[in-house]
Amino acid sequence: MQIHIDHGYLEYERAGQGVPLLFIHGYPLSRRIWDAQLDGLAGQALMVAMDLRGHGDSFPFEGPYMMDLLAEDCQKVLEHAHIRPPVVVCGLSMGGYITMALYRKYPQLFKGMILTSTRAGADTPEGKASRQASIVDVIEFGAGYIASGMSQKIVSPYTLSTQPTLVKTINGIMAKTSVQGIVGALQGMMERPDSTATLKEVNCPVLILHGVDDQLIPIKEAEKMRRVTPHSRLVRIQQAGHLLNMEQPEHFNQAISKYLSTLDQA
Ligand code: MLT
């Protein structure tokens, strides 16, 4: 499905029946990372998986993509998809930064929050410098260059050696991202605020999911979020890295399924 905004469009899809659940992918990925969830959770959740601006099949808008702007896009997609709040929002990595921005704007939208492979803190000066270098690289060499640089680290060493087809699929998803999308997301992430204070105030149940072998955002970041977030639980997924939902879909889906059933009872 397509929603027209700002002289461009966003693509999204709906699947399943049950608890409303919005999936927000990370950088530089697309809604395709959620295929195993759209399939595996269809009996329990009414899911919306969207392509963020500049990513997947969405229009390659010029950046910067501030996290607030991306959060507004998510809200528009939910409205367009006729999803009645409250909803559960599941964000992976940059999708987690967007989820926290969405909570700041629309806390009443949330029935639950799932933070996966993400962190609360803002970028360090070194982190910002590395994003600047990536902006120069993507403009000069294209998305394929960024994709091949990330593909060794975006999954766990175990996945890298046991699931070569999955690694190729992920590489293809990243390489398809527009240059505008990569630049816009990097610019937006560099400027994002620290969300620790937001997490302290979240008053819905929060599930934190993290791969034990995440090489991009170490699990200690998830442990920090767990400590500051009042109604939260951390599930550590073994033999999984940054894309745990693709690397260990059964364990990931089981954790979400259990969480959704506790929400139903609440
Ligand atoms: C992501 O997967 O969205 C990124 O690794 C997040 C980041 O670069 O901070």
93: Cβ below 6 Å to ligand 1? Answer: yes
Cα 266 to averaged position of ligand 1 atoms, centre (Å): 32
170: Cβ below 6 Å to ligand 1? Answer: no
Cα 94 to averaged position of ligand 1 atoms, centre (Å): 5
Per residue, the 3-state secondary structure of the chain, as one string, reads: CEEEECCEEEEEEEECCCEEEEEECCCCCCHHHHHHHHHHCCCCEEEEEECCCCCCCCCCCCCCCCHHHHHHHHHHHHHHCCCCCCEEEEEECHHHHHHHHHHHHCHHHEEEEEEECCCCCCCCHHHHHHHHHHHHHHHHHCHHHHHHHHCCCCCCHHHHHHCHHHHHHHHHHHHCCCHHHHHHHHHHHHCCCCCHHHHHHCCCCEEEEEECCCCCCCHHHHHHHHHHCCCEEEEEECCCCCCHHHHCHHHHHHHHHHHHHHHHHC
Q: Which domain holds residue 212?
A: 2-265
Q: Domain of 155: which CATH number?
A: 3.40.50.1820
Instruction: Indicate the top mutation candidate among 90, 93, 126 to test ligand 1's pocket, ranked by most ligand atoms within 8 A of CB.
Output: 93
216: Cβ below 6 Å to ligand 1? Answer: yes
What is the pLDDT tens value at each position of the chain, 266 positions in all? 999 999 999 999 999 999 999 999 999 999 999 999 999 999 999 999 999 999 999 999 999 999 999 999 999 999 999 999 999 999 999 999 999 999 999 999 999 999 999 999 999 999 999 999 999 999 999 999 999 999 999 999 999 999 999 999 999 999 999 999 999 999 999 999 999 999 999 999 999 999 999 999 999 999 999 999 999 999 999 999 999 999 999 999 999 999 999 996 65
Domains contained in the chain, number: 1
pLDDT at 264: 64
